[in-house]
Chains A and B, each alone.
Chain A
Amino acid sequence: MARAVTTRTKAINTAVAWTIALVIFFPILYTIITSLKTESEAIAGFNLIPSFTIESYIAVQTQNDYFKPFMNSVILALGSTVLALIVAIPAAWAMAFSPTKHTKDILMWMLSTKMMPAVAVLVPIYLIFLRTGLMDTRIGLTVMLMLINLPIVVWMLYTYFREIPGEILEAARMDGASLWNEIVYILTPMAIPGIASTMLLNIILAWNESFWTIQLTTTNAAPLTAFIASFSSPQGLFWAKLSAASTLAIAPILIMGWFSQKQLVRGLTFGAVK
């Protein structure tokens, strides 16, 4: 028998859902509200009605050039994603279609690196960057971001590739397809949705990464995360400007996430139910 959902239960559920959503969204909402306040308003205390001034945004752009860290964020996020896919696609491919008895161990080992706190390897990485001249360079940071997200990228792609039925590949082989044709005409078109959602997730992860981007940059390669952090300075806190900078930093990724949410949700829940 189907469960009877009364109007009252529905109303309560809706109210609860909205409350939870608002609580989760509130920090972002309050950041946006604060960014539209003056500095004195922002420091005065809790207040949900701003004076709708954009002076903080103008200040952020004129005092600290927003465009440069924005471009750095774009380059780091896209660069590390492309690099990660170049490495991860063949890796996941091999593990999904020619697994050995150690494949599971390799996958677990890769994931285990994500369990280690980043600060544990800060000193060696810092020294490597310093001695090899990679400190505060885009190339160094791109490689770094690629490496820290690589385990997740490999895992996601591996799960996707595993979902492609082996019989389809065998059918292609029977139909006379060479390995190359099999990859071009059968595997890649079938894996594109998986590759796309992995790409989107990696862009978001790389965009939001703040530990290494702050530690390994000063001015040249600093992305938006470092840009936000710079507003918490020894001269004091500038809440309104900090909020304006934060809003500007999250806006691009929020917009991208909004438009690609369908793809993302599918990517993250793929394989959960058959």
Chain B
Amino acid sequence: MGNITLRNVKKSFGNVVIIPDINLDIEDGEFVVFVGPSGCGKSTLLRLIAGLEDTTSGVISIDGRDVTGEAPAKRKLAMVFQSYALYPHMTVAKNIAFPLKMAGEDKATIEKKVGDAARILNLTDYLERRPGQLSGGQRQRVAIGRAIVRQPSAFLFDEPLSNLDAALRGTMRLEISELHHQLKTTMVYVTHDQIEAMTMADKIVVLNAGNIEQVGSPMELYNSPKNLFVAGFIGSPKMNLVAGAPAEKLGAKTIGFRPEHIAISKTDGEWKGTVGVAEHLGSDTFLHVHTDALGTVNVRASGEIQVSHGDTVWLTPDPNRIYRFDAAGLAV
């Protein structure tokens, strides 16, 4: 089981309030991603759940048991750190075996569990090596191995892929998702990379300045952002947000439309503009178009479009996919 509940959790360091007041329910077996810009409190929130930081007030429960005052070791959680945090003086086998040794498991059980974890993570050939002799991806796998052998009630990941190169990040993302399907254990994952959030999560928690802006499935957040912050944060490239006359025409303070919801034409459309930069990726074409009416607009067109710097184009937004926000920044 791995239900995690946070009730009125607050955290401050001296006079600096990091998390003003958070309530959150994480269901057993869910893959929950905390996402937000740097300094939004997502890592602090994870560390509060782990017990590595003390809450200023509020209650954290795991499976209905109040663990607020409990030491990290007693919470039955496993954590994977950004820096891997492997024990440099131990071999891979000993690193993975460490939590089992601390739990007082017997030698045969330890050997079996380490072997199983190594098989799942393709580490069997590296068991006698030390962390210093492994690549970044292998080190991260060892860190995951150390987490899974304990069969914890939940896994906590603190930006585990941010030290890896782009290609490896993609592979590891898949591996972690597959591991989740295989183990069906609750996973709480912190990242600032919204692609990771969108692709891996069952539920995304968007944080900003220590507050939860919105909780929902990736598609809920994409299709119905509650406010300007979520609208601007979720989606890549970012949603175009326009204030002023075009918004007022639609009865809103600000309107937003995603780059992929704009039709592009060389002959006619709603807004005329000039292409500033055209990025041709083959599968997609990203355009930065300077318009008189809206300023610079990001456009994402599927496939290859033959336009380049200086060309005149016409843009038309999908009328059904225009988001409207009021003066307080809330979705109308």
Residue pair B98, A175 in contact (C-beta under 8 Å): yes
Q: CB of B73 within 8 A of chain A?
A: yes
Check B102 against A174 for contact (C-beta < 8 Å).
no
Question: In chain B, what residue has the closest Cβ to A181?
Answer: B102
Q: In the complex, which residues of chain B have a beta carbon less than 8 angstroms from the beta carbon of A176?
A: 73, 99, 102-103, 150
Contact with A along B120-149 (1 / 0, CB 8 A): 000000000000000000000000001000
B60 part of interface (Cβ distance < 8 Å): no
B71 at the interface (CB under 8 A from A): yes
Of A129-137, A164-172, A221-229, which binds chain B? A164-172
| C-alpha gap A177/B102 in the complex (Å) | 6
Which single residue of chain A is at the shortest CB-CB distance from B88? A190
* Contact between A185 and B72, CB atoms less than 8 A apart: no
Instruction: Categorize the interface residue count of chain B.
Output: 20 to 34
- Measured CB to CB, the closest approach of chain A to B200, in angstroms, equals 21
Cβ-defined partner of B79 (8 Å) among A165, A171, A186, A190: A171
Decide: A167 and B81 in contact? CB cutoff 8 A: yes
Secondary structure class of chain A's binding surface, majority of residues: helix
From A168, A174, A181, A186, give the contact of B72 (CB < 8 A).
A174
A173 & B73 in contact (Cβ 8 Å cutoff): yes
Task: List B contacts of A13 (CB < 8 A).
Answer: none
Residues of A within 8 A of B24 (CB): none
Q: Check A175 against B81 for contact (C-beta < 8 Å).
A: no
User: Which B residues, 77 to 131, have Cβ-Cβ distances below 8 Å to chain A?
Assistant: 77-79, 81-83, 85-89, 98-99, 102-103
* Centre residue among B50, B73, B78, B83 by max chain A CB count within 10 A: B73
Inter-chain CA distance A168–B83, complex, in Å, is: 9
A174 close to B83 (CB less than 8 A): no
Known: A174-B78, A176-B103, A181-B102. A168 touches B87 (CB 8 A): yes
B52 within 8 A of A: yes
CB distance from B102 to the nearest CB of A (A): 4
Q: Which of A167, A185, A189, A190 contacts B85 (CB 8 A)?
A: A167
**Is A61's CB within 8 Å of the partner chain B?**
no
B89 proximity list for chain A (CB < 8 A): 189-190
- Using Cβ atoms and an 8 Å threshold, which residues of chain A touch B85? 165, 167-168, 170-171
CB proximity of A33 to chain B, nearest CB, Å: 46
Chain B neighbourhood of A175, CB < 8 A: 73, 78, 98-99, 102, 146, 150
Mask for B142-160, Cβ within 8 A of A = 1, else 0? 0000100010000000000
The number of chain A residues with a CB under 8 A from chain B is 17
Q: Whole-angstrom distance between the alpha carbons of A170 and B150 in the complex?
A: 16
Residue numbers in B under 8 Å from A186 (CB-CB):
87
For the residues of B in contact with A, the DSSP-based class is loop
A167 to B146, CA, bound (A): 14
Task: Chain A residues near B52: list those with CB within 8 A.
Answer: 170, 173-174
- CB contacts under 8 Å to A, within B26-78, are 50, 52, 71-73, 77-78
Q: Are B88 and A178 in contact (CB under 8 A)?
A: no
The interface bits of chain A over 212-245 (1 if a CB of B lies within 8 angstroms of the residue's CB, else 0) are 0000000000000000000000000000000000
Q: How many A-B residue pairs have CB under 8 A?
A: 59
Contact code string A157-197 (vs B, CB < 8 Å = 1, else 0): 00000000101101111111110010001100110000000
Q: Which of B194-226 contact A (CB under 8 A)?
A: none
Residues of B within 8 A of A185 (CB): 87, 98
Q: Quick one: closest B residue to A167, CB to CB?
A: B85
> B88, A174: Cβ atoms under 8 Å?
no
CB distance from B306 to the nearest CB of A (A): 42
B79 to chain A, nearest CB (A): 5
Contacts of A167 in B (CB 8 A): 81-83, 85
What CA separation (Å) do A172 and B143 show in the bound complex? 12
Query: What is the 8 Å Cβ interface bit string for chain A, positions 63-102, against chain B (1 contact, 0 not)?
Result: 0000000000000000000000000000000000000000
* Alpha-carbon gap, A64 to B83, bound state (A): 61
With contact pairs A171-B79, A171-B81 given, residues A178 and B87 touching in the complex (Cβ less than 8 Å): no
By a CB distance below 8 angstroms, the chain B residues around A172 are 87, 98
A174-B79 CB under 8 A given contacts A181-B102, A185-B98:
yes
Residue of B nearest to A169 (CB): B85
Asked whether, in the complex, the Cβ of B73 is within 8 Å of the Cβ of A170, the reply is: no
> How many Å lie between the Cα of A173 and that of B88 in the bound state?
16
Which residue on chain A has the smallest CB distance to residue B52?
Answer: A170
Q: A181 to chain B: which residues have CB within 8 Å?
A: 102
Give the docked Cα–Cα distance between A2 and B74 (Å): 56
With A and B bound together, what is the CA distance between A172 and B79 in angstroms?
10
Query: 26 A-B Cβ contacts within 8 A?
Result: A167-B81, A167-B83, A167-B85, A168-B85, A168-B87, A168-B88, A170-B52, A170-B72, A171-B79, A171-B85, A173-B71, A173-B73, A174-B52, A174-B73, A174-B78, A174-B79, A175-B98, A175-B146, A175-B150, A176-B102, A177-B73, A178-B102, A181-B102, A185-B87, A185-B98, A190-B88
Interface set of A (CB-CB < 8 Å, partner B): 165, 167-168, 170-178, 181, 185-186, 189-190
| Given A168-B88, A171-B146; 14 other pairs, CB 8 A cutoff | A165-B83, A165-B85, A167-B82, A168-B87, A171-B81, A172-B87, A172-B98, A173-B72, A174-B50, A174-B52, A174-B78, A175-B78, A175-B146, A176-B103
Q: Which 5 A-B pairs have the closest CB atoms?
A: A176-B102, A171-B85, A175-B99, A167-B85, A176-B73
